[in-house]
């Protein structure tokens, strides 16, 4: 039991260090839900075990503080008020995301629209954009992206050099044939498993559950993660008759036309980066345009924090 508690202490500390990179303190329930474990081969950790270790561990008391029910690294009490402030900012952005998703759901072959990145766990900065992750019907990814980005461009909703605040960034599409994202992981990648478990589905035609099942590998690191169950106010009704009509006619349009056109207008920088690594992926079942992928930076910051507090 002593060895198990020591493992839990280090896992709790690692979890807090990771979220400290994002100035995000955690409740005891969140520590349990997002508990980071290396190559986990043990049973699921119970929440009472987390609470017990938080209350009794001298190892953690030297390194962790608690305020208003939030746990954080020693000397980082300011993150509590920062989390509350960003929650209010995120609420506003969520409302806009819902409005846009209500319109995008009518686009042919869209079967899931989710918010992702910091907005997914309500930790948005005021000037940030709204990141969407979209899943499409099989073999329809190019056409779907064409309609989605066309709609956003028409109404000037896409990010630009001049404006990012509250704009819509739809830079990650997959189709239902490619739900498993394990191939995108980097060495020691922590960000992607957290990203996947925090994806927040606004519109879902039943594929979100399949997405989680296809990515069950994240349990090797996040043993307790739970699926996101949106509150009613953040759920969007299933497909409409309008969408069915659009999809019927769109089904006759060849995918190759949309693929050739979008490749032709793709910025040179993205073409040069395409399929060189996992930042920019241009394939028939995945379109990912994260040229500013910061996962390696986040991993470095996490490792530095963890090494620092472990040596205290």
Q: What is the CATH number of the domain that holds 305?
A: 1.10.10
Statement to judge: residues 29 and 145 lie in one domain: no
pLDDT digits (tens, 9 = 90+) for 77-126: 999 999 999 999 999 999 999 999 999 999 999 999 999 999 999 999 99
Residues 6 or more apart whose CB falls under 8 angstroms from that of 176 comprise 111, 135, 136, 137, 138, 207, 210
Q: What mean pLDDT comes out for the span 269-296?
A: 97
Could you give the number of structural domains in the chain?
2
Statement to judge: residues 74 and 106 lie in one domain: no
Statement to judge: residues 108 and 180 lie in one domain: yes
Statement to judge: residues 46 and 155 lie in one domain: no
- Domain range for residue 305? 2-81+298-310
Least confident of 18-22, 25-29, 130-134, 239-243: 239-243
Statement to judge: residues 148 and 98 lie in one domain: yes
Q: Which pLDDT score, from 0 to 100, does residue 1 have?
A: 44
Please provide the DSSP assignment of the chain as one string.
-HHHHHHHHHHHHHHHHHHHTTT--B-HHHHHHT-B-TT--SPPPPHHHHHHHHHH-HHHHTTEEEETTEEEETT-THHHHHHHHHHHHHHHHHHHHHHHHHHHTTSTTEEEEEE-GGGGGT---TT--EEEEEEE-TT-HHHHHHHHHHHHHHTT-S--SS--TT-EEEEEEEETT----GGGPPTT--HHHHHHHH-EEEEESSHHHHHHHHTGGGGGTBTT-------GGG------HHHHHHHHHHTTS-HHHHHHHHHHHS-HHHHHHTTTSSSEEE-SSEEEE-TT--HHHHHHHHHHHHHHHHT-
Statement to judge: residues 16 and 149 lie in one domain: no
* Model confidence, pTM: 0.95
Statement to judge: residues 21 and 145 lie in one domain: no
Statement to judge: residues 19 and 71 lie in one domain: yes
Statement to judge: residues 250 and 217 lie in one domain: yes
Q: Could you tell me the pLDDT band of residue 268, with boundaries at 50, 70 and 90? A: very high
Statement to judge: residues 185 and 264 lie in one domain: yes
Statement to judge: residues 160 and 119 lie in one domain: yes
Statement to judge: residues 94 and 203 lie in one domain: yes
């Amino acid at each position: 039991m002593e060895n198990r508690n020591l493992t839990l202490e280090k896992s709790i500390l690692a979890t807090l260090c990771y979220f400290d990179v994002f100035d995000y303190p955690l409740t005891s329930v969140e520590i349990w839900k997002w508990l980071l474990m290396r190559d986990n081969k043990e049973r699921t950790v119970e929440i009472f075990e987390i609470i017990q270790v938080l209350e009794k561990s001298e190892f953690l008391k030297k390194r962790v503080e608690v305020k208003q029910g939030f746990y954080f690294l020693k000397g980082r009490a300011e993150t509590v008020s920062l989390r509350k402030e960003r929650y209010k900012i995120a609420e506003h952005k969520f409302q806009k995301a819902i409005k846009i998703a209500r319109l995008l759901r009518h686009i042919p072959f869209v079967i899931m629209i989710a918010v992702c990145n910091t907005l997914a766990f309500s930790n948005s900065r005021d000037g940030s954009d709204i990141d969407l992750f979209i899943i499409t019907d099989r073999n329809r990814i190019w056409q779907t992206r064409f309609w989605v980005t066309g709609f956003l461009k028409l109404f000037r909703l896409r990010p630009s050099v001049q404006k990012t605040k509250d704009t819509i960034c739809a830079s990650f599409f997959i189709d239902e044939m490619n739900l498993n994202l394990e191939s995108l992981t980097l060495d020691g990648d922590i960000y992607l498993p957290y990203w996947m478990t925090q994806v927040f589905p606004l519109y879902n035609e039943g594929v979100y559950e399949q997405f989680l099942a296809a990515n069950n590998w994240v349990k090797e690191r996040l043993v307790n993660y739970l699926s996101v169950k949106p509150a009613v106010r953040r759920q969007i009704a299933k497909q409409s008759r309008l969408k069915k009509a659009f999809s019927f006619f769109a089904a006759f349009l060849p995918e190759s036309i949309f693929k050739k056109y979008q490749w032709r207008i793709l910025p040179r920088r993205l073409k040069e980066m395409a399929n060189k690594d996992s930042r920019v992926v241009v394939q028939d079942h995945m379109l990912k345009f994260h040229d500013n992928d910061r996962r390696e930076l986040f991993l470095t910051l996490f490792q530095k924090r963890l090494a620092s507090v472990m040596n205290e």
